Chains A and B, each alone.
Chain A
């Protein structure tokens, strides 16, 4: 059974360019989370969706960041324009949350973004 799929795995881009990160959650999961991980700030929640609807985007650093989930099997995180300080590993995670469930989040392998 496929886990969470993210693409690309590595992205190197120049400052000012648009970057789009993609995520395919585990089939049947109803929650999707986007995280950013850096040495300085650790793992930070950027935004999460429930049934394709954004629930909390308070972690999105600024207007340059946007996320969409057009359907249950696909989500994107876009940075426009990108800046060197956006360099990080971006993780997508999905979960099936029900009363009495473990609330476990399954993470994808991450996208390592470098902005030069």
Chain B
């Protein structure tokens, strides 16, 4: 079993749609969680950190469920510019051995 697993996608949605991605992690002793975004042939960039209480940044909402060991990302009112690959990232306790999920591709269509 992979340490971090994501919905494989791709997700094809129209502009204005709401879309949700899930990610599960196997190591219960994980300390930090993130969503990164990667555009085609570009480097990954931090989208948002994920906190235990859940957090929101504009149209983006991230949730963490430690008991079930999954995190989620919700995108509301999708824009064409949201088309990208979304990477789930987990850092286990005791260091910074960062583990990336395989990514979920999102295509937003006009």
Task: Identify the A interface with B (CB < 8 A).
Answer: 31, 33, 35, 42-45, 48, 50, 55-56, 58-59, 91, 95, 97, 102-105, 107-110
Give the chain A neighbours of B49 by CB distance below 8 A. 102-104
Supposing A97-B96, A103-B49 touch, asked if A43 and B91 sit within 8 A by C-beta, the answer is no
The reply to whether A108 and B43 form a contact with Cβ atoms under 8 Å apart is yes
Residues on B with C-beta less than 8 A from A35 are 100
Chain B hits for A43, CB < 8 A: 44, 87, 100, 103
Chain B interface category by residue count: 10 to 19
> What does DSSP make chain A's interface, helix, strand, loop or mixed?
strand
* CB–CB B44/A56 < 8 A: no
Subset of 14 A-B contacts with CB under 8 Å: A31-B96, A42-B102, A42-B103, A43-B103, A44-B100, A45-B98, A45-B99, A55-B95, A56-B95, A56-B97, A95-B96, A102-B49, A107-B45, A109-B42
Question: In the complex the two chains form, is A42's CB within 8 Å of B100's CB?
Answer: yes
Residues of B within 8 A of A108 (CB): 43
Q: Distance (Å) between the CB of B89 and the closest chain A CB?
A: 9
Contact assessment for B46 and A105 in the assembled complex, using a CB-CB cutoff below 8 Å: yes
A110 touches B43 (CB 8 A): yes
B residues near A56, Cβ cutoff 8 Å: 95-97
